[in-house]
Structure 1
Amino acid sequence: MTAAPIRAALFDMDGLMLDTERIACRAWHDAAGQLGITLADEVVLGMVGMHSSKVDAWLISQLGDDAPIHLLREATHERYLQLTEGAIPHKPGLIALLDWLKAQGLPIGVATSTRRSIAEHHLKAAGLWPYFAFAVCGDEIEHPKPAPDIYLKAAGLHGVPPQDCVVFEDSNFGVRAGHSADCRVIMVPDLRQPTPETLALGVAVVPSLVEGLQLLASWQGEA
């Protein structure tokens, strides 16, 4: 069955547009090493797409009540800022996708769990900021992903019903948020593959934004 055309596009940022998740993982491991903490890869990967308000509880569940979570968070933040001083690489196919959306006259927004100060810095440093009509950031919503709030707010700013928006996401948390908001979701996995629960939602999964553009063009009747 041919999918109905979409009227607006919403993008996650970390791991979807910018290759930041690998940098964040390195920051966690570097900070843990400085503090003499053993941090397994699965503990770090479990935080991919997770809102900052959920991180402490996750770390306590994995490291125990006595772990110096506050110190670890601070050290990780400082290391992340060091590692992201310059422009962060774009993910493959991003610019072609954004240019295509612009050529179609479709409004584009950002919906990221990252707080605004960091999100704006990254997007401006990467030369991406002019593409977007707006950004909704993690410090501007009450209920983070996987709740639908951020995508409902973003669709409202577009003035487009959620079901007429396409959401591009890389994380399972983000996919659940977009799906719960009744948006059309295209998942482009980064560090974590879709879980069985994510696949059960019936969302589209593609290997990169290159294929994401191809799929979206087919939805718009251009394939």
Structure 2
Amino acid sequence: MQLDFTPAAVLFDMDGLMLDSESAVMQCWIEAAAAHGKTLDEELLHAMVGLHEKLCFALLCQRMPEEEVWTLARATDALYHERVEAGLPLKPGIRSLLEWLDELGIPKAVATSTRRDRAEHKLTQSGLIKHFPVVITGSDIEHPKPAPDIYLLAAKTLQVDPQHCLVLEDSEPGVRAALAAGMTPIQVPDMKAPSAEVRALGHRIVGSLSEAQQLLRPILAPWS
């Protein structure tokens, strides 16, 4: 299914799209809970995928006292820090896609719910930071995804009209944020398959970043 417009900029989510980090986060929550005699069910863990940490915290507070949530959050953060330092794997196809967009001179930005210090550290450690002159994080906006704020700020910073922006996302909150910003999303699902409700939004869904690149070739570089 070919795109029906030529994007002037491409905006990228980070966790679960470029970095194979969502599974690591989920495992850290499971290990932290087990260490404190708790169990987090799969439905809850999947509901947290793609959400800002404040929204994840609120979800957990519906299941247990806030003090216990803080304890688990600190333990999870410590475990996840170890995994980040050890190096998070890149999602297949991301280097090829970014290098190709660099060759074409397409403006790019990261728009991630992760707080700035952690986001910049991950991008630097993974070697991806060099591809992004603009990095917008959860620290820069008041309302996280699925609100459109983060994508609107990214477009404003790049000085590109939102309707001319293409968004690559893995999660439902990210897709909804992109649509609310008036942008065109392509979803590359990670751990959570799109529900019927999400599919009904009518956006494009592909199986990998390589498929996303193939979708872009006819309009960005028809000669390639």
Q: Is the 8 A contact 1:175 1:187 kept in 2?
A: yes
| CA distance in structure 1 between the aligned counterparts of 2:104 and 2:164, rounded to whole angstroms | 15
Deviations 1:141-178 (A, max 9, x none): 00000000000000011111111111000000000001
Does residue 202 of structure 2 align to residue 199 of structure 1?
no
The aligned counterpart of 1:57 is 58
Deviations 1:69-107 (A, max 9, x none): 110111111111012112211101101110111111101
Q: Is the 8 A contact 2:3 2:216 kept in 1?
A: no
The aligned counterpart of 2:20 is 19
| CA distance in structure 1 between the aligned counterparts of 2:180 and 2:218, rounded to whole angstroms | 24
| Partner AA of 1:54 in structure 2 | L
CA-based RMSD: 1.5
Any runs of at least 4 consecutive aligned residues in structure 1 with deviations exceeding 3 A, and if so which?
64-67
Deviations 1:90-126 (A, max 9, x none): 1011011101111111011000000011111111111
Secondary structure of the 1:42 match is helix
Secondary structure of the 2:155 match is helix
Does residue 174 of structure 2 align to residue 174 of structure 1?
yes
Q: Is the 8 A contact 1:47 1:55 kept in 2?
A: yes
The aligned counterpart of 1:215 is 215
Q: Is the 8 A contact 1:5 1:221 kept in 2?
A: no
Deviations 1:30-62 (A, max 9, x none): 10011100111221111000111112221122x
Q: TM-score, normalised by structure 1?
A: 0.95
**Which range is displaced more, 91-100 or 78-87?**
78-87
Q: Is the 8 A contact 1:14 1:21 kept in 2?
A: yes
Does residue 52 of structure 2 align to residue 44 of structure 1?
no
| CA distance in structure 1 between the aligned counterparts of 2:127 and 2:82, rounded to whole angstroms | 19
Q: Is the 8 A contact 2:3 2:215 kept in 1?
A: no
TM-aligned CA deviation for residue 2 of structure 1: 5.7
TM-aligned CA deviation for residue 67 of structure 1: 7.0
| CA distance in structure 2 between the aligned counterparts of 1:83 and 1:56, rounded to whole angstroms | 21
| CA distance in structure 2 between the aligned counterparts of 1:219 and 1:191, rounded to whole angstroms | 29
Secondary structure of the 2:85 match is coil
| Partner AA of 2:25 in structure 1 | A
The aligned counterpart of 2:32 is 31
| Partner AA of 1:51 in structure 2 | H
The aligned runs of 1:21-170 (5 Å cut-off) are 21-61=22-62, 63-65=63-65, 68-170=68-170
Q: TM-score, normalised by structure 2?
A: 0.95
Q: Is the 8 A contact 2:136 2:150 kept in 1?
A: yes
Structure 2 gap ranges (5+): none
| Partner AA of 1:102 in structure 2 | D
| CA distance in structure 2 between the aligned counterparts of 1:16 and 1:4, rounded to whole angstroms | 22
